[in-house]
Amino acid sequence: HLGVARRWADRGRRAEAVAQLDRGLERVPDDATLLSARAELRLKMGDPESARLDYDAAIVLRPHDAALVTNRGVTWQTQGVADRALADYSRALELDAGFAPALLNRALLLLLQHRPAEACLAKRVHYLDITGEWPVFEACHRRSQIARDQGVVLMPGVGFDVVPSDC
């Protein structure tokens, strides 16, 4: 069923591909590979909720699969539920610390939420900015122990405009 579904999908006939996967799942309802393939197609077809439900079912079958957890995070992100997406990306990284899609998706989501220091921590890279905004200083301070533990420098306020102009 998977091979036929992939051929349908390659031809741009996603509905037929999903129908083929449905038939496969009728015969073998606990096949995580078929569930994942159907979820991917449903997401491409603009149905992230159904895709998420398929990923939920696949994760029950393969709970230690970082790719499944990451892909479910994508469905949450598509639906605008950033906290759930971040939780899934973080869980995927617990399962496989070097899983690039989870690292990238988590970092990009944090950047989109204007949380660049957290994104840098997620990617384990140093953070410098040129602003002098107190909330940024406070946020970096709150994360200072995590940064130290990871060997990451969080250094806000390195820009010239931070220097008081009345000196």
pLDDT in tens, 6-34: 999 899 999 999 999 999 999 999 999 99
Q: Count CB-CB contacts under 10 A for residue 129.
A: 19
31-85 residue pLDDT tens: 999 999 999 999 999 999 999 999 999 999 999 999 999 999 999 999 999 999 9
What's the pLDDT at 145?
A: 92
What's the pLDDT at 41?
A: 95
Q: What is the model's pTM?
A: 0.71
Token output for 122: 């997620």
Residue with tokens 């598509």: 78
Query: Are the C-beta atoms of residues 24 and 31 closer than 8 Å to each other?
Result: yes
Rounded CA separation 72/42 (Å): 12
Chain-centroid distance, C-alpha 116 = 15
CA distances, 65 to each of 7, 48, 88, 89 (Å): 25, 19, 11, 12
Collapsing DSSP to helix, strand or coil, 154 comes out as: strand
Q: At what angle do helices 66-78 and 82-95 cross, to 10 degrees?
A: 170
